[in-house]
Amino acid sequence: MIKEGLSPPESKLPNSPNNLLGIMLMMLGMLFMACMDTTAKWLVEADVSPVQVLAMRSWVIVPVILFFLCARGQLKLLKTARPFAHGLRGSLGLFAPLPFFAALQYLPLADATVVFFSSSFILTAISAVVLKERVGVHRWSAVVIGFVGVVIAMNPEGDSDYWAYLMVLCAALAYAGIQISGKQLMKQDSVISLVFSFNLMIGLASTAMLPWAWVSVSWPVVSVILLMAVLAVSGHIALTAAFGKAQVSAIAPFEYTSLIWIVLLGYLLFQDIPSNQVWLGAAVVISCGLYMIYRESLHRRA
């Protein structure tokens, strides 16, 4: 996955949106990120601080990216005329995974994920207002109905740690800002430069916070962090490429596909049994995604 992300043809924004390719990349990225969130939950439940998880993850990702770039003679892909914008985006990036990982100490994977799906609604609204993308009735319908599915899965009448849900909502807002800024930066810069700067800034910020968060970890924990780093860089490359190649409003509903993986992994690893509301919400959001694929196929044929 890393090598594919380094290829120059894949690192440039196309002249016109390729929404079907963006959808495929989004779905692949969601699979990687669902697996990464699963490892994050395992780590925080093993009493590893989310700050330490982010720092150690970046210690792996940044050198790995540099190694592959050096091996292929492609360090020039990291060159950018907008280092301040990259740094600002990377700094914002700390406020997406940090509160989300912290919330996983108190919420099941499925619960946290469905709340995080609110980022799709935020992304579509921002794309219409800021990026001036044309958001038709079909896309708005898919996003709105999908968000209704999210609310159903949350079961707001049940007992919940609402402050933990608030942290997830903060993470969703930061995530939307990261993806929108990434789309703007990809007009001139490569996918891998965005992934590199994003992880570099998170690594610097979280490492600076380590004196207040560090705990000794065993080798099994270190191996899980290594796995998490691989999943993270693969997911970041796929998602960054997806947002660069397609209209934000077209691919945003496909974040919902991670729910199926989250439910499965949560059950297998943590014995989290989804409620009837979660299953109903999943059915709604997946149906919206399939409908969007059908609409995009009709558009491409036309």
As a whole number of angstroms, the distance between CA 38 and CA 191 comes to 25
The residue ranking higher by pLDDT, 81 or 131, is 81
Q: What percent of the chain has pLDDT over 70?
A: 83
Confidence of residue 124 (pLDDT cuts 50, 70, 90): confident
Q: What is the pLDDT of residue 8?
A: 36
- For residue 158, pLDDT beyond 70: no
Residue 252: pLDDT over 50: yes
> How many angstroms separate the Cα of 185 from the Cα of each of 96, 164, 214, 290?
19, 32, 34, 30
**Residues 59-69 pLDDT 10s:** 888 998 898 88
Q: Where are the domains of the chain?
A: 26-301
Say how far apart CA 278 and CA 292 lie, in whole Å: 21
Highest average pLDDT, of 91-105, 194-208, 234-248, comes from 194-208
Q: What is the pLDDT of residue 16?
A: 57
pLDDT value, residue 84: 85
Q: Which residue has the higher pLDDT, 28 or 165?
A: 28
Name the band, by pLDDT with cuts 50, 70 and 90, for residue 243: confident
The pLDDT, as a whole number, for residue 11 is 39
132: left (phi over 0), alpha (psi -120 to 50) or beta: left
What CA–CA distance (Å, rounded) separates 279 from 163?
Answer: 24
Confidence of residue 110 (pLDDT cuts 50, 70, 90): confident
Buried residues in 165-174 as b, exposed as e (16+ CB within 10 A): bebbbbbbbb
